[in-house]
Structure 1
Amino acid sequence: MEILILKERDILDAVNIKDIIEADKEALKNYSGGKCDIPLRTVIDVDKKNSSTAIFMPGLVEDKNALGIKIIDIYPQNIEKGLITSPSTMILIDKENGFVKAILDGTILTRLRTGAVSGAATEILSNKDANKFLLIGTGGQAERQLEAVLSVRKIKKAYVYDLNFERAKEFAKIMEEKLKNYGAEIIAIENSEEVIGDVDIITTVTTSKKPVFDGKKVKKGVHINGVGSYTPDMQETPEEFLIRADKIFTDTKEGVLKESGDVIIPIKSGKLKREKVSHELGSLILSREVGRESEKEITWFKTVGFAGLDLVAAEKIYELAVEKNIGTKIEL
């Protein structure tokens, strides 16, 4: 049995963000079209004292022949050992014979598919002439979130905000060089309120438990991607904004309603109607929903992620890696 090993550098050599945006669209479409078999993730408490957890996310996306499992291990104590705290591995299986065909670095895969799904939503929902962007949060997900938006809109100014201004400045400096081919000016700011009412697109990617911007100050026509808030107690997005939003789309309605405090908290308080969070981006891609209808509409896309995104993105990476003869082959 031959298995292709794809490390981070291999993956980045094999694909670009546009490839993964298209893969994510396919995953969303297949999920909303009922062509995915995505069981509930299995969570094992390995060491309760140290909060060590192993998470197994299996799935099948029929139309894309994508079968496999992503394994994410949460080991907070790894930071003391100089290791990453959430190592991740993707295992792809050949749907025709059941043999493992590839093992991929799951960390870069997750960052790519998460950034790309925001890119897909931005491409579909934001105004076509949007040219000012605000990124809130500069953690591990931030680079791909920034690149995804730059790849689908002609952004002139991309503002970067973080609670730690020095970190924001360092991030902006690095991204200015790495993403210079997009032609955007990348600017670190000390206070997001300086630009919140002027930008056309906003992406929030934090672990905050309280809103990270003023929902009353965003302008009409804005599109926002909510990427953080993947647990019931996290709340990046202010309730006032969700009330103002004309259209809300999710990657999976079930996942968002179950996992994201952005919607769970205001629904429990009665400020947000559950029915408003009933539209999936995949259904819009399938033309079963109505998207932006005017330049003044306010739109919000919420993602918590699901295994289908990993599977289809991984399959695309595998296909292009084989085509370009990238990666290391091993025999078992």
Structure 2
Amino acid sequence: MLLLSEKEIRNLYSMKECIGDIEQAFRYYTEGKTVTPVRTALTEKKLEAATLYMPSYVEAAKHMGIKIVSVVPHNREMGKPTVQGVTLLTDAATGEHVAMLNATYLTVLRTGASSGVATKYLARTDSKICAVLGCGAQAFGQVQAVMEVRELKQLLLYNRNRAKAEDLKKRILELYPDWRGDIVICDQPDKAVQASDIVICSTRATSPIFDGDSLSPGTHINAIGSFLPHMQEIDLTTLRRSSKIVADTLEGVLHEAGDFLIPMEKGEWSHDEIYAELGEIVTGRKSGRQTDKEITLFKSVGVAFLDLVVAKAVYDKAREFGAGTVVEF
């Protein structure tokens, strides 16, 4: 078995590569070439923590696997990562477990890449200003992906704990030392949203983080923070104002996304208003953005076939370049 650490994966695999692989993964899914049961989420309510078990098989990759990822917000108080994960990769033909990958960084990368693909098809091509609401573990990957597909000139960062926004700003500037854009830390999310062409929501909020009336015509939203039924970042106004609501998978969002489930339970909104799955747009079965005035919303809770495709791509590169550590069990 090949073991791959986060450092090794960072050296092997870029956001640009990941966006290409994720776009292909959505094609596989839409073409019926993946098998992905709904993930199992175990929660520790006192700590507001969750561990997710995510299996998948992708025919084209000739591998199956499972990712186990834990989200423990209170870890930051002990100086530990809030998101930790591993992926076990299995050869579908032989049943051999060929690799174990650190999935913490890969989760951030593939979640960002999903938003990158959505942004490619749904955001205005002239989008220049991006608001980031929630500056935790996932936000960095979200920014990387959006900057890969759009030429941003300004980032507006908001976090209840301003220090986290300051830290994200520092990390972005370190990664993009030659970027000529501007980064502003905001105290009011609604003002950041109002000024933006693209809005990233990456919080663990249980109630909406901005007023949907703040959205300007033509805005695109990537909502990736809430992934459990009780979590909610997006309000009813945002849903009603969105011309196109796109899901990573219908099965996933209707099982887990509080952004949809909460207003559905109240009888205020119907899942029939979801326009498409992202794969339908990637494959051309449905149109992406059609006018500059549309408000578009991409909702993602994450799905295991994305992790499988990314893990296989990293495994192939590692074998090509002789990276990782081989162990015998």
TM-score by length of structure 2 reads 0.92
SS in structure 2 at match of 1:255? helix
In the alignment, structure 1 residue 317 sits paired with structure 2 residue 314: yes
> 1:140 pairs with 137, 140, 157, which one?
137
The alpha carbon displacement at 1:304 in A equals 0.3
In the alignment, structure 1 residue 293 sits paired with structure 2 residue 290: yes
> 1:10 pairs with 8, 11, 20, which one?
8
Instruction: Output the CA distance in 2 between the equivalents of 1:69 and 1:36.
Output: 13
Instruction: Output the CA distance in 1 between the equivalents of 2:201 and 2:72.
Output: 25
Q: Quick one: which amino acid aligns to residue 161 of structure 1?
A: Y
Instruction: Output the CA distance in 2 between the equivalents of 1:265 and 1:43.
Output: 18
SS in structure 2 at match of 1:233? coil
The alpha carbon displacement at 1:52 in A equals 7.8
**2:27 match:** 29
Q: Quick one: which amino acid aligns to residue 63 of structure 1?
A: A
> 2:199 pairs with 179, 199, 202, which one?
202
Instruction: Output the CA distance in 2 between the equivalents of 1:77 and 1:126.
Output: 34
Instruction: Output the CA distance in 2 between the equivalents of 1:50 and 1:191.
Output: 28
Alpha-carbon contact 2:38-2:251 (below 8 Å) kept = no
Alpha-carbon contact 2:247-2:277 (below 8 Å) kept = yes
Instruction: Output the CA distance in 1 between the equivalents of 2:139 and 2:209.
Output: 15
Instruction: Output the CA distance in 2 between the equivalents of 1:23 and 1:85.
Output: 26
In the alignment, structure 1 residue 90 sits paired with structure 2 residue 87: yes
> 1:112 pairs with 100, 109, 120, which one?
109
Alpha-carbon contact 1:253-1:278 (below 8 Å) kept = no
Show CA shifts across 1:63-95 (max 9, x none).
232311112346678667654455321011122
**1:217 match:** 214
Show CA shifts across 1:230-256 (max 9, x none).
111111011101101100100001111
Alpha-carbon contact 1:33-1:283 (below 8 Å) kept = no
Alpha-carbon contact 1:27-1:309 (below 8 Å) kept = yes
Q: Quick one: which amino acid aligns to residue 15 of structure 1?
A: Y
> 1:187 pairs with 159, 184, 189, which one?
184
The alpha carbon displacement at 1:153 in A equals 0.3
When residues 249 and 331 of structure 1 are mapped into structure 2, their CA distance, relative to the original with a 3 A threshold, is same
Instruction: Output the CA distance in 2 between the equivalents of 1:164 and 1:77.
Output: 14
In the alignment, structure 1 residue 169 sits paired with structure 2 residue 146: no
Alpha-carbon contact 1:150-1:182 (below 8 Å) kept = no
Instruction: Output the CA distance in 2 between the equivalents of 1:146 and 1:189.
Output: 16
The alpha carbon displacement at 1:161 in A equals 0.7
Unaligned runs of 5+ in 1: none
Alpha-carbon contact 2:116-2:148 (below 8 Å) kept = yes
The alpha carbon displacement at 1:194 in A equals 2.7
Show CA shifts across 1:278-318 (max 9, x none).
51000111111121111111100000011111101111111
Unaligned runs of 5+ in 2: none
> 1:65 pairs with 62, 66, 87, which one?
62
In the alignment, structure 1 residue 122 sits paired with structure 2 residue 119: yes
The alpha carbon displacement at 1:182 in A equals 4.5
SS in structure 2 at match of 1:282? helix
SS in structure 2 at match of 1:129? coil
Q: Quick one: which amino acid aligns to residue 21 of structure 1?
A: I
SS in structure 2 at match of 1:111? helix
When residues 205 and 54 of structure 1 are mapped into structure 2, their CA distance, relative to the original with a 3 A threshold, is closer
Alpha-carbon contact 1:209-1:235 (below 8 Å) kept = yes
Instruction: Output the CA distance in 1 between the equivalents of 2:165 and 2:39.
Output: 34
Show CA shifts across 1:213-268 (max 9, x none).
12112111110000012111111011101101100100001111111111112222
Q: % of aligned pairs identical?
A: 37
What CA RMSD, in Å, does the superposition of the two structures yield over aligned residues?
2.3
When residues 158 and 50 of structure 1 are mapped into structure 2, their CA distance, relative to the original with a 3 A threshold, is closer
TM-score by length of structure 1 reads 0.91
SS in structure 1 at match of 2:107? helix
